[in-house]
Structure 1
């Protein structure tokens, strides 16, 4: 009897084990499938909570496309952190360069405006006194060279005559505190100074006894330094020039500046 029971147990146990084994295998597969589904659901939940990509493409300063960062700062290696720092520094430098270029353009515009103002100011502003006297002498010399009566004078004498007239013009506008426009200056030179210049030229013919003395007289009228002339030549020149000055002053006393 006991032998029959043992045989039954021996037959039943494997059958049960096979049955349990098959069911356990099925249950294991079911658990694995559920676990995979759970992981997918968890991933979907994560994407709905967090942005899909925290590092997006951007456009650089010069218009080139910049690729997104391939690493996250919290997980970066020391080398990657150094690279990230250099990239940040580069972006800051680009921004500073942009600001500097804007400042440079502003300064260029200001410089152009100032240069334009300077040009206009120089065009309409009165000449300096030295420039004005030079302009007077140049105008008078041209007038004299165009006059047939002046042909009896050498170029050196014409230079001396123009320089003497320029000095008298300087004294006159200084005494009257006059500021003349170009047209007013030209009219004064044309109407008053040629007669004086002819008088001085004739006086130089009388006072100077040689080309050397003519050159000394010319230098004197240019520099207004009486020490340049020997005493006898200075005395002779004063004698012949004073009447020319007196006649000029009488005529200039009637001068009225145009309004």
Structure 2
């Protein structure tokens, strides 16, 4: 066999050997690369798990410069993350927390406004009741009742026998006028019991005081009728000047006495 006949076979054998070696090296390199890739993936997975575990703590900032008060009165501290580096999920959670704080603050403001409105409504209701109570028609009915009850008391009283029927009318009308002055001066809405107390405990003494004064001030039945009209209407223009002066001089001490007693009674009642 010649060299020319064996040379191609040798070359083919060498070529196959080289290819085999290269293939083996490629397999080894691929295995090594796969190992390192697996190691990196495992490490990254562990890091991600650790970050996920610490997620709740990362939402709390270490700075107290932007503290807010939560619903239960505890301090809530916003995150100090760089906004550009916060994951979308964390941004959503932060937004919800901020919305919660805003809602809590708005709710507190609304509660304060509601309480203020309740107080305002109560004041308006009281004001309405007072206005209705002191409306001319209702007040006139109440004064007529007071005058009627005082007059009935005087008629039954043996101490009032010295007064004429017209003088008793003046005394009852003057008592109703003083009752009006009392409730108007103090803006009072008396209950039935309170009204009865004023009529029975305070107005009779005043009525007798006025009766004694009228007996001195009025010089005729005509002047007595003028006085009765005056006490019912509070129209001083119907009185002659001399009669008005005489009436003022005798009634002023009576008014001072009953007003002092009534005002003292109002103070004691409010304190009690």
TM-score (norm 2): 0.47
Q: In terms of Rg, which structure is larger?
A: 1
TM-score (norm 1): 0.49
